[in-house]
Each structure stands twice: as C-alpha cells, then as structure tokens.
Chains A and B, each alone.
Chain A
C-alpha cells in the first residue's frame, strides 16, 4: 500500500508540469497583449516606449524558453509570480480565497450526497416506480439546467421575494450565505450522482454473488449492507471524487453570480482585466486541486477494493 501510494503520487508530477506548460504557452502566443491592452485607453494606440518599458519591467521581453524556465523554478518555490494589477504575490491572493472555495465545494457536495444517494438507491431497488421515474427525470433536468440561471431563479425566489436568505456575498462565513450558492452548485453533481448510484446498485443487484448470497439464505438487509452497498460504494466514491475535484472549476460562474469570494471569482475578474499571472496561478491551483482529489480517490478505493491495487 505504501509503495502504491508513493507511485500514484509521483505519477501526477509530469501531469502538473505539462499542465503548467500548456497554461504558460497559451498566454505566450500573443506577446505584449497585456502591456498593449493595459496601456491602451480606447482612443489611440499606446506609446510604444511605454509598452517596451512595461514589457521589460514584467519580464515579457525575454525569450519564451527562458521565461518558462524561470516560471517553473519559481513554481517549485511556491512562487506564482506577482499580480500585474495589484502588485501582490499571486500566492497570497489565492490563499486568501481558497478557503471560501473549499467551503462552497464541500457544502455543495454534501447537499448532492444527501439528496442523491437515497434517491438513487430507492430508484434502483424499485425500477420503473414513480420514485425511479421522477429521479431520472430530475437527474437529466439537473444536468441540463444552466446553473447560473438556476441560481438567479433561487436568488429571486428565496432572497428577493421571500426574504428568507441573503441574496449574495460571503457574510463573514455565515451559514445562511452559503445555502443558495451551495444548492446551485450542488445540482449538477447531485444529478450525476443519482444516476451513478442507480446504475451502480442495479449492476450489483444483477451480479452472481448477490444471487449466491440470497441462495444461501442471507437476509435482505444483510445482503444490502454487506454486498450491495459495499460494491456500489466503489463506483459512488469515484463519481464523488471526480465531481468534488472539478467542483472548484465548475464554481467559477456561481461564485461570480453570488459574489462569493473564492478563487473562481478571482479567476473571472482576472480574465476580464487580463491579469495573466493571477489567471495562470488560479488555473494551476484548480488543476492541482483536481489531481490531488483524484489521487486521494484512487488511494481510497485501493483500500476499499483490493482488486484494484493488483490490477
């Protein structure tokens, strides 16, 4: 298990480096864009001398390879560069906000789990029933609804009309402020999870070892707990992990809509003003987050299901 863990963690390193390279290259194909757009005031082109000075100051005039080498070296020292706009270290901007993103993603995942697991289970045990049909209609709708629109509708109903909840903001981390964004963000993973749970449980229910368990006289409750739940768990954990890993990425629009001070809204704001180091840094953190959760999931299910480690 120890060796497996080490190997799995080491495997992610090349992915991180290549991801960093891709992100770096994207922002280097149009040289000087930032300086030009920062200095242009809409009426006339910026003074070329000023552009040259800014490029030099920000190190944008050096060759690409040299810039990438510096970038990677800095990354290894947890230095993500300095924001063009605020002149603060990017790492500080991100660490200030990562907690809010983490809370939002966790709350959304909790909501998704609490709703989807029981529904998916019941739907699988009674295929074709009203619960099953309703759950599956709900699931495909949940995957099709634009989240930001759903958020807008919820905001209108629960904040503006009924006045039950605050419509936006972090509210110093109060639970009330968390409810609407978390539900909005949780709908898509909820839909996916209900589907996966149903499919997973149905699959297990039709397998040979369940028939054997019934045949040897095991009670239904025991079969459910020992065989069905445990085997469906592997699939469910994978889905939860993949969803949780991409949730910070999916949250960008929701964070922007609810003025939630996470790294998603930081990313959107930085894209709008082309603050490239912040954009690069935030995307890299989102990728790292995804890879870290994925690795953790692999390790968890290697622990649950010994078949995976061998294979």
Chain B
C-alpha cells in the first residue's frame, strides 16, 4: 500500500505531539503547575521562557507540552470507547438483522440527530467536570457514524463467498464476525477512528475552554485559553501557543485519516488530471 503526502505529514505531526506528551516530564524546562511565581507573571517570550509566562508566572511552553498528555488521553481513550460501541452495535446489527438491527438503526438515527458536543454537555451536566466525566461524555456520544459504516460494511461482507464458506464449515456467529468480517472492514473503521480522535481533541478543548472539562490548574490547552482570554489585550502570547497546539494536533489526526482513506480506497483518491 502506498501512502501519500497527506498521510506522512499527518503521521509526522501526530508523532511529534505524542512525543511531546510522553517526553514532557524530561524536556519541559519547569514544573507545569507548581512553578508559579508572581514576580515572573505575564512575561513575553524570551530566552528563559520561550513561549512567555501566564498570569501566575508559569512557563507557557511547559504547560503546552504537558497539555499534549491530556488532549491525547481524551482523544484516544474516548475514541476507542466510541469505536468499540459503534463496531459492536453496527456489526451485530448488520449480521443478525431482525429486531436487533431495527433497534440499532433506530438508536443510531437518534444519536445522529443529537450533536455530539451537545450530548457531551448534557452528560457533563449530570456528572460534573473532570477527566473521567469527559472520557465518558465524549466516549458515549460520537459512535453513530462508526456504527453506520460498520453496519453497511457487514451487510455487504455477509454475502461474500468466504463468509458463506465459514458458515457452511459450521463456524459460530461470533467467530465469523471476529475472524471473517471484522478484519475486512478495519480500513474504514480505522479512518473513522483517526478522524474521530481529532474531533474529540477539539471537543475536549472547547469543553475545557467553557469551564466544563478539565479543571485548572491542570494544564489543558482549552483551560489555558480560558485564562488567556482574560488577558488577551495585555499578554496575547498566552493565547497563541495552546491554540496552535490544538490546531496542529487536530490537523495531524485529520491528515492522517484522510491519507489512510486515500490509500485504502482507490475510488476516494484525489483525482489527478
């Protein structure tokens, strides 16, 4: 399989963000929370504080590096939950059909009508803010497209010769689903999951920005921007770096997803003249 430029650019960006998150404790020059020093507050970028300092005098570079940990955790974990729900429901619905399929399809249609971010807001209203609630809120609310894709793939794979052969050989339903159907629809599912991680990172940032996600003083990019908003006139650099970090992370996931789709599905490949 050949990968295009999009894929490699996306892979590079994503890898950089992952390394930033993993290596933050070693490469970050300061402590993300406890090096507050009001004598150093709101310093513009200089040789010591490359990205400047925030209102409490904390190093913005350090907090931006640590922010990658939170964003990636939320993005990856919540999307894994979504994929698991979507694939399980979609595959069993498509394979078994009948009342179960009607139920799954009906539920998917309802979930499609409730925007993921709004649904997540509702869940957070019940659970309160914080990392675990955020993982649940974003993990339970964005599986409808994956479910649709899994269901329609299953429907078309079900009639393939090798699935029929497996049935004749007496394989159980579960065995057929996991060994014959699932591997053959991994491509589109992986694409959906990669794109979903990008959107989960965006949702986390947005929810933390309005104060319902990750709570300060944890260095989440969204909540860093909440503080930056108050000081935008005095210290605009506080707003620049966390925003760029979100942008590049999501761009990485999106390019990676688009690139994967282009390579997996030649029909979707951008047509060249």
Chain A interface residues (CB < 8 Å from chain B): 14-15, 18-19, 22-23, 26-27, 29-30, 33, 127-128, 136, 140-141, 143-149, 152-153, 155-156, 160, 202, 206, 246, 249-250, 252-253, 256-257, 267-268, 270-272, 274, 276, 279, 283, 286-287, 290-291, 294
Contacts and interface: CB of A to CB of B under 8 A. Distances in A.
A146 B247 contact: yes
B197 to A, nearest CB: 12
Interface of B: 106-107, 109-110, 113-115, 117-119, 121-127, 198, 202, 205-206, 209-212, 225, 228-229, 232-233, 236, 239, 242-243, 246-247, 250-251, 254-255, 258, 270-273
A281 B127 CA distance: 19
Contact of B271 (A23, A30, A202): A202
Given A144-B198, A149-B239, A152-B239, A279 B114 contact: no
A246 B142 CA distance: 14
Contacts of B115: 246, 249-250, 286, 290
A73 to B, nearest CB: 21
Contacts of B106: 14-15, 18
A256 B109 CA distance: 28
Given A267-B118, A286-B115, A127 B233 contact: no
Contacts of B251: 140-141, 144
Contact of B114 (A202, A257, A267, A283): A283
A128 B273 contact: yes
13 contacts: A26-B122, A136-B270, A140-B255, A145-B250, A146-B206, A148-B225, A149-B247, A156-B233, A249-B118, A268-B212, A270-B125, A290-B114, A294-B113
Main secondary structure of the interface of A (DSSP, over half): helix
A267 B272 CA distance: 46
Contact of B247 (A19, A26, A145, A268): A145
A138 B55 CA distance: 33
B244 to A, nearest CB: 9
Contacts of B206: 146-148, 253
Given A18-B106, A149-B246, 6 more contacts: A19-B114, A26-B123, A136-B270, A149-B247, A250-B115, A253-B117
B122 A27 contact: yes
Nearest to A145: B247
Contacts of A291: 113
B121 A271 contact: yes
A281 to B, nearest CB: 12
A276 B107 contact: no
Nearest to A205: B271
Contacts of A143: 250, 254
Contacts of B258: 140
Nearest to B243: A149
A126 to B, nearest CB: 8
Contacts of B255: 140
B71 to A, nearest CB: 11
